[in-house]
Each structure stands twice: as C-alpha cells, then as structure tokens.
Amino acid sequence: MSHESEEGGHAHHLPAVEDWPRGFGEASWWPFITAIGASVIYVGIGLFVLAQGENPFVPEIYGPAAAVAGVAVFLIGLYGWVYHAFVKAYWDGAGHGSGLKFAMLLFLGSEIATFGAGFVYYFFIRADAWTNLPELVVSGNIFGNLVIANTILLIISSVTLHYSHVALIRGDRQRFVGLLGVTLLLGIVFLGGQVYEYYEFIVHEGFTITEGAYASAFYGLTGLHGLHVSLGAVLLLIVFIRSLYGQYSPERHTSVSTVSMYWHFVDVVWVFLVVVLYVGAVLG
C-alpha cells in the first residue's frame, strides 16, 4: 500500500499505488472510502439518537463507537484522496486546476442540497410543530454573546483566507503563510466556541437533542455545520503544512483555491444558520 516515487529530485510517498484498484488506470477508491467514512459518521449520530429516552432501541455505546470509526475511515480516505489529487500532482507538475475547481463546485452543489434538506425540515417545524419550545429559546438566551463572537470570528477567517490567497498570487509568500495560519487558528477557535456552547446548553441549561422538534433541528444543523468546519480545518491544516514546505506559487495554487471555495461556503452557511436558527427562533 505504499510506493516511493521521485520527480525532479523530490522523493515522496504514496498511500497507495496509482493504479488502485489494479487494472482501472487512473481510477481511485479514495473518494469511496471517504464517502463510506462520512456515512458511518451519520449512522453513529442516528444510533446515538436511537439510544436516548427511557426505552432506547440500541445500547448507548453504539453511536459514539460508530462515529469514532467513521471519523477514522473518513480521515484515512481523505488523506489518500488529497495526496493523490493534490500533493503528488503538484510535484509531478500536473496541470488540472480547472478540472479540480469544477469538481469542487459540483461538490458544493451537493452540499447545498444536504443543508437544504435540513432547512426544509426546520421550516416544516416552524409551520406545523412550533410548540413546546425550550425555555432557552423562549427567553431569547439562545442568541448570546458567544454566537455573535463566533460569527465574527468565522467572517474574519474568510477575509484572512481571501487576502492570504491574494498574497500568494502576488508572490508575497510570508504574508500568504501568515494569513493562512491566522485563518486556521480562527477556525479552531470557532470550533472550540461551538463545543463550549454545546456544553453550556446541555449541562447548564438542560437543552439536549431530545428536547423537542426545535432541539433536533438545532443540533442537527449546527452539528452538521460543525462537522463541515472540522473538515475545513483539516484541509486548511494540510494546505498550511504544505505552504511551510515551500509549495504553491502564483502559477500553481489549485488546492489553495479549492479549499478557499469550501471555507467561504461554510462561512456563508453559518451566517444563514444564525439568522434562521438563532435570530429567527428568538423573534418567533
């Protein structure tokens, strides 16, 4: 499952031979492995929900165990996928940037459909099942300073990533790496803020996913978004590490472009989430 290659004097490893599975040429199983891992994560979340209540359908350990296994498979698949699609291609001088950017646009289209399904569920709740709202929502405390701070951080991270990319195109490598590192840090802080918000809601407010239809929509959508931000942070980390190794130039920056597209997308989704889930719930 490993292969040593050397292009232009640069030795690098591959997580699998290029012809994998053998006989299929440039075909790769890494996207399928990544998709399987993501699917198992969703299964884990579903099992966790089924384990709640007085008469759970499955033991409580099943959900977390499946989720952890799914994350592991997902990260393994993502590593192989990114290495073959970007890292090796960079050293080989492959010029397929436009194709990868178009693929990212197609992927973001599928993500819009995914979040759209969640929002449709939420709007159905607003139309028919908007009853017995948790006290946290009725009091308006669900929209607090932490949400505002997190939103500002995420918006700033989009700005820093944009100007990081601009600096790379202009040949200012130091500014590119510095702003890229700031973007990654802001993303990690955002995730920490969301975890802390969950802790406050669940432990101190008693607002759990079983507290009615609104709670299921809230945790489902914000959790799905948090998963996407986590993926974005992993991708930013990969790009940041590669930048420290001297990769990328004004002519070769495909992965910076595609990761930027993804990160800006999750930022826009978060703003929409805040307006709909937080502000909209408080205003009734």
pLDDT at 99: 63
CA-nearest of 152, 150, 176, 153 to 163 is 176
Place of tokens 């607002």: 207
Element (H, E) at 90: helix 88-92
Res. 2 pLDDT band, cuts 50 70 90 = very low
The pair of three-digit structure tokens given for residue 169, joined into one six-digit string? 């195109």
DSSP assignment letter at 20 = B
pLDDT at 84: 73
- Fold designation for 96-284: Four Helix Bundle (Hemerythrin (Met), subunit A) (1.20.120)
| Spatial contact of 18 and 92, defined as CB atoms under 8 Å apart | no
Per-residue model confidence as pLDDT tens digits over 75-124 = 888 788 777 766 666 555 555 556 667 777 887 888 888 899 888 888 88
Using a cut of 0.85, tell me whether the model's pTM lies above it.
Answer: no
* Structural domain spans, the chain: 1-94, 96-284
CA-nearest of 119, 154, 130 to 267 is 154
Res. 14 pLDDT band, cuts 50 70 90 = low
